[in-house]
Amino acid sequence: MEQSYFHRVQKVTPTRFWINNPTLSEAEAAIGAGAEYCTTNPTYASKMLLHPEMKGMGMRLLRRIVDREENDSLAASRIQREMVQLIMPPFMKIHEKSGGTRGWVSIQGDPVKEDDPAEILRDAEAGLGLERNYIAKIPVTVSGLSAIATLAGEGVPIIATEVMSLSQAVHAAETYAQAIGSLKKAAPLFLTHITGIFDQRLGQWAEETGTVLSGEALRYAGFLAGRKQYRIIKERNYPVTLLGGGARSLHHFTDFVGADMHITINWKGTADRLIESDPPVENSIDRIISESIAEELLEKVPLFRQAWTEEGLGPEEFCDYPPVVLFRTMFLEGWEKLLKIVREARHGK
């Protein structure tokens, strides 16, 4: 495992590997393969409470929590945090060894309440009580930007997530840069472009509208949008790190290799397949892609046009932008499954 694909990527490029929503054994396997960070999202606890490896530990936690917490929503938030806490220790070793610069593990709060910045801040404060390698995961919406400004000013590490457009990326970077302006030492901000979900929603839109797109347009839409965000971040010297996320195919990792950025992927079906296939390490971020692909997308797909320019979306439009809605819907569905598990545990079903 020492010479895995990800070790080679990290040896010859600045691209770094995060693992997403892992079980404990997947987290340890990912670390062995070169992962130094971990992301989770609001579907995490509902998945782990049904997973053969994590279910036993999770249900013991859940029974203890529902005995002490009468409110189902608060109980769900607590089990989410404590399930993630189970996978924090192996990353804490990396955190300590790196002097607190790596080994972050993210938690995103209750998606039902993410339109309220006060609720986002309360979830983040609860997360800070877990382990030193906790990093808050905050959506880039109007409410999320308000929370990012507060947390960044207080020196809290942040992942800015649900980013599908250049406008979101710039607003998040500007908000963070302003918030840390007077700090002697700022905590990091990772800015997450959700590549695969963006591609997925554009593909759905094409089907819904009967719009015929070339295979290349469907293949490269999310990459082109993400690469433009990356280049703007570098050109303007924003003090943030782009973090690719929402992968649906292997190329959602490999396309960005060579960039000074990080990418988070699932273990099963993505990381394990890349290790098995062991592709060559190439500087893919700078590959030449025909201008006709972006031109086709800009001509035919309004959703792509909105993502392509800084003026494409205003902050008040972020939460209703269809690719963001698709992503949030997944989180809301996962959270409803978690609430159902909480209710069933409370009533002994």
C-alpha of 37 from chain center: 11
Rg of the chain over all Cα atoms, to the nearest angstrom: 20
SS3 assignment, position 307? helix
> What is the pLDDT at residue 348?
82
131: phi > 0 → left, psi -120 to 50 → alpha, else beta; which?
Answer: beta
Cβ atoms of 304 and 225 within 8 Å: the answer is: yes
What was the pLDDT predicted at 182? 80
Long-range contact list for 75-78, CB < 8 A, 24+ apart? 75/342, 75/346, 76/45, 76/110, 76/335, 76/338, 76/339, 76/342, 77/109, 77/110, 77/123, 77/126, 78/126
Query: Tell me, what's the pLDDT at 184?
Result: 86
pLDDT of 92 reads 98
In sequence order, the 6+-apart residues with CB closer than 8 A to the CB of 114 are 120, 139, 141, 143, 144, 328
pTM of the model: 0.95
Architecture label for domain 5-346: Alpha-Beta Barrel (3.20)
Low-confidence ranges of the chain (pLDDT < 50): 1
Which pair of tokens denotes residue 33?
A: 């393969």
DSSP assignments along 263-288, one per residue: EEEEIIIIIHHHHHH-------TT--
CA 48 from centroid of its chain's CA atoms: 18
Coil/strand/helix, residue 240: coil
Query: Where do the domains of the chain lie?
Result: 5-346
Can you give the pLDDT at residue 1? 45
